[in-house]
Amino acid sequence: MRIGIGYDQHAFVEGRRLVLGGVLVPHPRGLRGHSDADVLTHAVIDALLGAAALGTIGEHFPDTDPRFAGVSSLALLDETMRLVGDAGYRVVNVDSVITAQEPRLQPHLGNMARTLAQRLGVASSNVGVKATSPEALGALGRREGIAAHAVALLEAI
Ligand code: MG
């Protein structure tokens, strides 16, 4: 068994879609980033890579590489799963928390868990996606962006 942790945050920006856990969330602003800036999927990817000691999302998918410009982070997650599998591991479960002052994410959490579970090769009952409010504290509380934490448990195949 191997455990990993991932953390990411992205700033809000005008004129982009908001994608979290591979799910399009209706909102006037999206997140700034080289890919689709899916902060939750990025945290999950880093948790998976960390559990297998395979480095970081920035090493595997550098934001200087034009191949990853505007790409769906689910495609990056698929490639991460290939790396994890090649290293001899499969996913047991993943848990995660999104920290966002806005928008209200509760109606979308189940869809995010199902979307991620499909890519992770596990039942959706093995993927936790939660949302918490920063209670108006700090940059996240000032609605400047969204952050996400994730943990992943892997087992040897
Ligand atoms: Mg990121």
The 10s digit of each residue's pLDDT in 51-60 is 999 999 999 9
What are the C-alpha distances in Å from 44 to residues 5, 17, 52, 53, 138? 8, 20, 13, 14, 24
Q: Where are the domains of the chain?
A: 2-156
Q: Report the alpha-carbon distance of residue 64 to residue 39 in Å, rounded.
A: 18
Separation of 75 CA from ligand 1 center, angstroms? 14
pLDDT at position 108 is 98
pLDDT in tens, 81-123: 999 999 999 999 999 999 999 999 999 999 999 999 999 999 9
Tens of pLDDT, residue by residue over 63-88, are 999 999 999 999 999 999 999 999 99
**Residue 8 CA, ligand 1 centroid: distance in Å:** 5
Ligand 1 centroid distance, CA of 55 (Å): 15
Q: How many Å lie between the centroid of ligand 1 and the Cα of residue 39?
A: 5
Q: Which two tokens stand for residue 87?
A: 């290293």
Ligand 1 centre to CA of 105 (Å) is 19
- Crossing angle of helices 109-120 and 39-51, in 10° steps, is 40
| Ligand 1 ion: nearby residues, β-carbon < 5 Å | 8, 42
Model pTM score: 0.98
**Given this model, what pLDDT does residue 135 score?**
98
Q: What topology is assigned to 2-156 in CATH?
A: 60s Ribosomal Protein L30; Chain: A; (3.30.1330)
| pLDDT for 132 | 98
Residue 31 token pair: 């997140």
